[in-house]
Amino acid sequence: MVLAGLLTACVPTGPADLEAVQQQNIRVVRQLEAGLNRQDWAGVARLYAERVRYKGPHTRYREVEQTPGQVVAAYRGYHLEITQLYAAYEHHVVVEGQLSHGPPQPVCLIYTIENGRITRQFTY
């Protein structure tokens, strides 16, 4: 009996409703796409946490800490077309798509979303 209790205690448990959390994270990314394409920079900035870990071409793929305004400034004038979204457990969404500011370029974005805000964005 004690052994069963110990084994149960060692099994990792997820959030009460993982699917609901994943759907909320996907909604945040869809709001980001819509805001970027409408050029609603204030709305886009509100989707980010106060400090964001960012890695992408604008930082030569070094991870840096930025404000929402700095992240948004890197995307001014761009259009994002999402072709596929993948929820990755509790905090991550992987996006495949095209980013265009002229000829479209394939892009892979990995977002970490905590408490409804983007805390980390990696762009490849």
Q: Which residues contact 41 (CB under 8 A, 6 or more apart)?
A: 35, 72, 76
| Higher-confidence position of 88 and 2 | 88
Residue 4 inside a domain? The answer is no
Q: Which residue segment(s) compose the domain that 77 sits in?
A: 16-123
* 11-15, 56-60, 78-82, 108-112: range with lowest mean pLDDT: 11-15
User: What predicted TM-score, i.e. pTM, was given to this entire model?
Assistant: 0.83
* pLDDT number for residue 66: 96
Q: Which residues contact 8 (CB under 8 A, 6 or more apart)?
A: none
Q: What digits encode the pLDDT tens for the residues 35-72?
A: 999 999 999 999 999 999 999 988 999 999 999 999 99
- Tell me the average pLDDT across 104-118: 96
Residue 11 inside a domain? The answer is no
Most confident of 48-52, 85-89, 100-104: 48-52
First to last CA, the chain: 50
Residue 6 inside a domain? The answer is no
Residue 7 inside a domain? The answer is no
Split at pLDDT 50, 70, 90, the class of 97 is: very high
* pLDDT number for residue 13: 47
* pLDDT number for residue 2: 47
Q: In the chain, how many domains are there?
A: 1
* pLDDT number for residue 1: 52
Residue 117 inside a domain? The answer is yes
Residue 5 inside a domain? The answer is no
> Domain with 70 in it: what CATH number?
3.10.450.50
